[in-house]
Amino acid sequence: MYTCILQVIVVVWSMKIESSSAPRSLCPLSKALELIGDKWSLVIVRDMCLGKKRYGDFQQSPEGIPTNILADRLKKLEEHGIIGKRSYQQKPVRYEYFLTPKGADLLPVMQQLIIWMKKYDPDCWTPPEGFYDATPESLLQAYSEIE
């Protein structure tokens, strides 16, 4: 009897711990929003499109992302395969971040968001030259040229 109750508790707990909980639905829009539907994730991806790589780079963006949120988002974006990291020095070991193909493929989403916002809020900034012409492939190309 009590054993049974304990088992239920354990199961409920393990459900909370393992695999970041079940999706709300299998709708692709809803699932996408569960991954990147917040105010900061795409700002970080934007910065990476613009060539930023390091923790300090992201911190210096004009939006002023809180440092604990930045650390959390970098971890989640990596868990979801949107970004990757590699160490750029030992002693102490430090990492720089880069877009994976999955992350680069978010470019069309951001382009559409920007087109939409520019249309209804003309005061906001104009993206850098060639931004609308960029493709996920051209972003990844930029990485391979560096190495």
Segment near DNA (CB under 7 A); pick from 60-68, 100-108, 115-123, 130-138: 60-68
* CB atoms near residue 106 (< 10 Å): 22
Contacts 24+ apart (CB under 8 A), 112-119: 113/42
Stretch that binds DNA, among 48-56, 99-107, 108-116, 122-130 (CB under 7 A): 48-56
- Answer for which of 1, 2, 17, 62 binds a copy of itself (CB under 8 A) is 62
Helix (H) or strand (E) holding 103: helix 101-104
Are 58 and 44 within 8 A, CB to CB? yes
Strands (E), 1-147: 83-89, 94-99
Q: Binding segment for DNA among 3-11, 50-58, 104-112, 120-128 (CB under 7 A)?
A: 50-58
Residues 91 to 110 in contact with a copy of itself, rule: CB under 8 A: 102, 105-106, 108-110
Residue 92 or 122 with smaller CB distance to a copy of itself:
122
Cis omega before residue 92 (within 30°)? Answer: yes
Binding site residues, a copy of itself, CB under 8 A: 24-35, 37-40, 42-43, 46, 61-64, 81, 102, 105-106, 108-121, 123-125, 127
